[in-house]
Structure 1
Amino acid sequence: MTIDELLEQVLAFRDARDWKQFHTLRNLIVSTSIEAGELLETVQWKNDAEIEALLADPEQLKNLRHECADVFIYLMLVANTAGFSLVDAAAEKLALNARRYPVEKAKGSAAKYSEL
């Protein structure tokens, strides 16, 4: 499935339930943040070994997948509502980051671009 096909399904799901009336840009951005918080909860209070074990547990992995999907779906709706392509925005940001973090300066470093 392509991202455009997925977006069509998301919009059809929303429209069948008459939820567009609630999907203002503000509400979608707030909901994205809430869902990102739920994603964060999947690793809250866990050390790296416990997080690695989470990936081996089918039920916990399914929960992680669903929380990632919730964030992704809301991001798609934000971009659609704001009138831009999420794929194009990500490609643009990746190109910007390539300039900000040239390999010769950034390789192996966690420093922010302004510190390189």
Structure 2
Amino acid sequence: MSNYQDVIKELIKFRDERDWQQFHDSKNLALAISIEAAELNELFLWKKESQSDDVNIDKLKEELADVLSFSFLLAEKHHLDIFQIVLDKIKKNDEKYPVSKAKGTARKYDEL
């Protein structure tokens, strides 16, 4: 099992060996995340909810890896600690969605 820094190093090595850093500005990385997320969504397109867990696991892994890779590169570009920003978001969501109001409901925070 690799740690986050090992993954980042491998992503940067792969990118730099191909001289792709020139294309990895924030806008293009954000667009790449969106495009890869759309490809991830495509795996579930036209499936009934009951079929959604029967996704091709190899394709799921590939598309998820693409989304995560571009996300990691965008975070690295801006010197963001991915674990810290996720923890910060959890804390923010905890304040928006207190258990006493949000448990068992999918309503948005301004509808609680």
TM range (shorter): over 0.9
Distance 1:36 1:112 in 2: 22
SS at match of 1:52: coil
Shift of 1:27: 0.6
1:102 partnered with 2:98: yes
Q: Which amino acid aligns with 1:11?
A: I
2:15 paired residue number: 14
Distance 2:54 2:71 in 1: 28
1:28 partnered with 2:29: yes
Instruction: State, as a whole percentage, how many aligned pairs show the same letter.
Output: 37
Shift of 1:85: 1.4
Distance 2:4 2:111 in 1: 35
2:87 paired residue number: 91
Name the TM-score, length of structure 2 as normaliser: 0.94
Distance 2:88 2:59 in 1: 30
Structure 1 vs Structure 2 CA RMSD: 1.0
Q: As a proportion of its length, which structure holds more helix?
A: 1
Name the TM-score, length of structure 1 as normaliser: 0.91
Distance 2:53 2:74 in 1: 31
Of stretches 77-86 and 100-109 in structure 1, the one that deviates more from structure 2 is 77-86
Q: Which amino acid aligns with 1:16?
A: E
Q: Deviations over 1:28-83 (max 9, x none)?
A: 001110000000000000012222222xxxxx110011101100001001111122
Q: How many residues align?
A: 111
Instruction: Name structure 1 gaps, 5 residues minimum.
Output: 55-59
